């Protein structure tokens, strides 16, 4: 099995290359900058790993860089500017595609633009294979199985600790700042609704009895969950403090002077929590909680395992939400040795 990593020279890309190497999977390092790819290969890849250089503007070279690979993991954000080129190249090359995007509009565009083409090409495409995009989507599917059909799903994110964002993440924030500040898309009665005010303004998170302020936020699950759950309304929110950090003014020049990403010691202090609350049409409710460490490290594990499962075959072609591509409980169970914990409680 051979898996390509496009954007392998970046912070998240190096973590993914290292995870592929740790699991003994043959890796191709692909991207735009040969020097950065060589440096990544020296730091993270096994000896002799292949390097393939291809820019986003050369469709033929990009597809050639992916040929012979069973899957590609795209880490080259901002994805709203570059994701479509890598997705298209994967379809041309006949290899499965996952990415590490948290950019809501890119994820929606991938479904809208490539669903039919991916089916015709016989290729599986799963965007948003991240610490945020996958657990919430999987838990929402499990909640629907307990309570559905559903009136509402609210998914909430919280992150504490850690050493800040990578340069790549900050570039993605800058590229999507208008969407983030507007709160992004909500879902209601079959339509994605931009910029609507938050219906939920407080949530309780594990470890605290008091409700904390939350703000509407452009979460991945708002786009993916309605693909596989019968639900009237889906809303994404973030703890207000996290929302404020991610939508504050950023000087683009300053971004390029920052460290490539947080130090490993800092990442070990980080904890992410995703709370998914579901209300059934019959009034019953359920709550799912997922918690884990190290958003960047967990994303590397999730993206590699997702690509590996697609490369192994047995997943239907098309653009898929995580819960459409993978068994939700089994995938969450796979993450347990990496410190990811999950639970579900049904009320009424």
Helices and strands of the chain, counted as H and E runs: 15, 16
Average pLDDT over residues 128-137: 96
Delimit the CATH 3.30.360 region(s) of the chain.
Answer: 133-295+340-347
What is the number of other CB atoms lying within 10 angstroms of the CB of residue 230? 10
Alpha helices in 94-239 (DSSP H): 104-121, 133-147, 167-175, 177-182, 221-224
Question: Which pLDDT does position 269 carry in this prediction?
Answer: 92
Question: Which pLDDT does position 41 carry in this prediction?
Answer: 95
How much of the chain, in percent, has pLDDT values that exceed 70?
100
The string of pLDDT tens digits covering residues 27-62 is 999 999 999 999 999 999 988 899 999 999 999 999
Delimit the CATH 3.40.50.720 region(s) of the chain.
Answer: 2-130+299-325
In this structure, which topology does domain 2-130+299-325 adopt according to CATH? Answer: Rossmann fold (3.40.50)
CATH, range 133-295+340-347: 3.30.360
Q: Which two tokens stand for residue 211?
A: 């409700």
The string of pLDDT tens digits covering residues 142-175 is 999 999 799 999 999 999 988 788 999 999 998 9
Secondary structure of residue 98 in the 3-state scheme: strand
User: pLDDT-based confidence at 98, cuts 50/70/90?
Assistant: very high
């Amino acid at each position: 099995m051979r898996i390509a990593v496009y954007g392998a020279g970046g912070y998240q890309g190096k973590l993914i290359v290292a995870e592929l190497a740790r699991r003994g999977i043959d890796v191709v390092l692909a991207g735009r900058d040969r020097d950065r790819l060589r440096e990544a290969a020296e730091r993270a890849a096994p000896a002799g790993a292949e390097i393939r250089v291809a820019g986003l503007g050369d469709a033929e070279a990009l597809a050639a860089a992916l040929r012979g690979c069973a899957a590609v993991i795209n880490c080259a954000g901002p994805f709203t500017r570059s994701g479509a080129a890598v997705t298209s190249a994967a379809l041309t090359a006949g290899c499965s595609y996952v990415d590490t995007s948290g950019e809501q509009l890119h994820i929606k565009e991938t479904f809208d633009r490539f669903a039919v083409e991916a089916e015709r090409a016989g290729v599986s495409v799963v965007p948003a294979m991240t610490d945020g995009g996958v657990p919430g989507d999987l838990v929402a599917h499990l909640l629907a199985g307990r309570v559905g059909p559903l009136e509402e799903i609210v998914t909430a994110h919280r992150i504490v600790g850690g050493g800040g964002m990578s340069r790549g993440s900050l570039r993605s924030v800058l590229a999507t700042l208008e969407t983030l500040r507007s709160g992004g898309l909500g879902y209601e009665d079959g339509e994605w609704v931009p910029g609507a005010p938050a219906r939920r303004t407080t949530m309780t998170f594990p470890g605290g009895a008091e409700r904390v302020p939350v703000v509407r936020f452009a979460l991945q699950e708002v786009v993916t969950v309605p693909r596989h759950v019968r639900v009237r309304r889906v809303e994404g929110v973030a703890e207000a403090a996290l929302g404020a950090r991610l939508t504050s003014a950023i000087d683009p020049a300053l971004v390029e002077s920052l460290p490539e990403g947080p130090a490993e010691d800092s990442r070990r202090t980080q904890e992410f929590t995703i709370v998914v609350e579901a209300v059934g049409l019959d009034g019953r409710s359920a709550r799912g909680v997922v918690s884990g460490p190290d958003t960047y490290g967990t994303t590397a594990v999730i993206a590699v395992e997702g690509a590996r499962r697609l490369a192994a075959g047995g997943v239907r072609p098309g653009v898929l939400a995580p819960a459409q591509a993978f068994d939700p409980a089994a995938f969450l169970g796979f993450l347990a040795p990496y410190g990811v914990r999950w639970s579900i409680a049904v009320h009424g």
